């Protein structure tokens, strides 16, 4: 492909903890990125916002600061784990520059803002990003991004062999 | 890319009359397909269903059979024109096998059925497929397909330079 595409492309890959996200990166590496190309790859993980639980009597919060700190620590560990796994998947790319970003907020907003900020040439993501209940309430992250970003969006599903249908 | 991907990929490109659809094919050719690869490309155009207008007095149809035949002829001409333009865009692909298909029906259903029938490795399409009114009623074709097909879906927007925003 390097002889077809001269221009350096900046490809944003939005990651989460799910299997579809890993598969999206894998599909992108096999099918879109040339291992010797001058593309740059930005791996983005968005830490979900911490849910604040007020105590039932309205006099503070349900969880102590220790528990909240432990939840934050867990969130950071998950982010590190997702990013490390993604970096390992990219280790065989010779000339491709790989950057990682961990941001905080609603994935739908953060991904769209990052695409605009980077002027990305393509956005790659799994088809999910929320569990079924949140998805019913908020819509899927990938649908939102496909509607709102300017660049081409590649949405990758879980591979057929692990979907339970085949 | 040919040295990275050994397996032949079958890529389905869903076309319509719009500029985004042409740009989607163009982006796919530049960024996903290697000109010397063994990929196969299926160019699909779905002719919209003919709208039947009953006469206000209920005694037949508003348009004569001549007019309906002219409308069908127009639909066929549009299909031919879209497919011919797409084939011209693919003429420099050396080893890539290019097939064309013209089908008839609701694009959302036909594209999903074709993806399943072909066992496509990726679906490429523009982000639209209906005008604004139909889209408000039916939802966008690309959203529907992204939710319902099993393979990775690449949704390509109109290029920034022609969007009127830049």
Q: What ipTM did this prediction achieve?
A: 0.79
Q: Please give the biggest Cα pair distance in chain A.
A: 66
Task: Tell me what pLDDT residue A110 has.
Answer: 96
- Percent of chain A at pLDDT exceeding 70: 76
Residue with tokens 């916002």: A49
pLDDT tens track for A14-24? 999 888 899 99
Q: Where are the domains of chain A?
A: 10-162
Sheet containing A97-104: which strands, arranged edge to edge? A97-104, A40-47, A10-15, A122-126, A153-156, B153-156, B122-126, B10-15, B40-47, B97-104
Provide the 3-class DSSP secondary structure of residue A165. coil
- Angle (CA) B11-A19-A67 rounded to 5° is 150
CA A47 to chain B, closest CA, distance in angstroms equals 24
Task: Tell me what pLDDT residue B86 has.
Answer: 95
Task: Tell me what pLDDT residue A165 has.
Answer: 41
The token pair that represents A51 in the structure block: 């849910």
pLDDT tens track for A86-130? 999 998 887 889 999 999 999 999 999 999 999 999 999 998 655
Task: Tell me what pLDDT residue A153 has.
Answer: 94
- Average pLDDT of A59-76? 80
More reliable by pLDDT, A63 or A127: A127
**What are the counts of helices (DSSP H) followed by strands (DSSP E) for chain B?**
5, 5
Provide the 3-class DSSP secondary structure of residue B85. helix
Q: What is the pLDDT along chain B (166 residues), one digit of tens a residue?
A: 444 445 789 999 999 988 889 999 999 998 888 766 788 999 999 998 766 666 677 766 667 788 888 888 888 999 999 999 999 999 888 788 999 999 999 999 999 999 999 999 999 999 865 556 655 665 688 888 988 899 999 999 876 554 444 3
Task: Tell me what pLDDT residue A2 has.
Answer: 41
Nearest CA in chain A to B144: A143
Q: Is B163 on the interface with A (CB under 8 A)?
A: yes
Q: Is B90 on the interface with A (CB under 8 A)?
A: no
Confidence of residue A38 (pLDDT cuts 50, 70, 90): confident
Task: Tell me what pLDDT residue A12 has.
Answer: 97
Q: Is B136 on the interface with A (CB under 8 A)?
A: no
Task: Tell me what pLDDT residue B68 has.
Answer: 80
Question: B153-156 and A153-156 as β-strands: parallel, antiparallel, unpaired?
Answer: antiparallel
Cα–Cα distance, A26 to A24 (Å, whole number):
5
Q: Is A157 on the interface with B (CB under 8 A)?
A: yes
- pLDDT at A54 > cutoff 80: no
Torsion angle, CA of A102/A107/A110/A111, rounded to 10 degrees?
90
Superfamily assignment of B10-162 in CATH? HUPs (3.40.50.620)
Task: Tell me what pLDDT residue A93 has.
Answer: 84
Cα–Cα distance, B145 to B125 (Å, whole number):
9
Task: Tell me what pLDDT residue B138 has.
Answer: 56
Confidence of residue A143 (pLDDT cuts 50, 70, 90): confident
The token pair that represents B153 in the structure block: 């879906």
Q: How far is CA A159 from CA A26, A77, A126, B150, B152, in A?
A: 11, 26, 11, 8, 9
Give the number of beta-carbon pairs within 8 Å between A and B. Answer: 72
Q: Is A145 on the interface with B (CB under 8 A)?
A: no
Q: Is B153 on the interface with A (CB under 8 A)?
A: yes
Q: Is A91 on the interface with B (CB under 8 A)?
A: no
- Average pLDDT of A34-38? 71
Give the closest of B3, B34, B152 to A155, CB-based.
Answer: B152
Q: Is B11 on the interface with A (CB under 8 A)?
A: no
Cβ-based contacts of A153 with chain B (< 8 Å): 154-155
Cβ-based contacts of B27 with chain A (< 8 Å): 152
Cα–Cα distance, B159 to B1 (Å, whole number):
24
Best of A37, A96, A154, A161 to substitute, by most chain B Cβ atoms within 10 angstroms, is: A154
Q: Are B127 and A143 inside 8 Å of each other by CB? A: no
């Amino acid at each position: 492909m390097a002889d077809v595409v001269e221009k350096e492309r900046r490809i944003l890959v939005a990651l989460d903890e799910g299997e579809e996200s890993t598969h999206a990166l894998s599909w992108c590496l096999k099918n879109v990125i040339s291992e010797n190309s001058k593309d740059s790859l930005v791996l983005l993980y968005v830490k979900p916002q911490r849910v604040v639980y007020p105590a039932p009597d309205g006099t503070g919060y349900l969880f102590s600061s220790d528990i909240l700190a432990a939840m934050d620590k867990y969130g950071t560990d998950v982010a590190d784990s997702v990013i490390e796994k993604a970096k390992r998947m990219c280790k065989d790319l010779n000339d491709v520059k790989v950057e990682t970003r961990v941001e905080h907020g609603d994935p739908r907003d953060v991904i769209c803002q990052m695409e605009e900020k980077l002027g990305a040439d393509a956005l790659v993501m799994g088809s999910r990003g929320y569990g079924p209940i949140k998805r019913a309430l908020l819509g899927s992250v990938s649908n939102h991004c496909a509607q709102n970003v300017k660049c081409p969006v590649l949405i990758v599903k879980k591979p057929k062999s692990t979907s339970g249908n085949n």
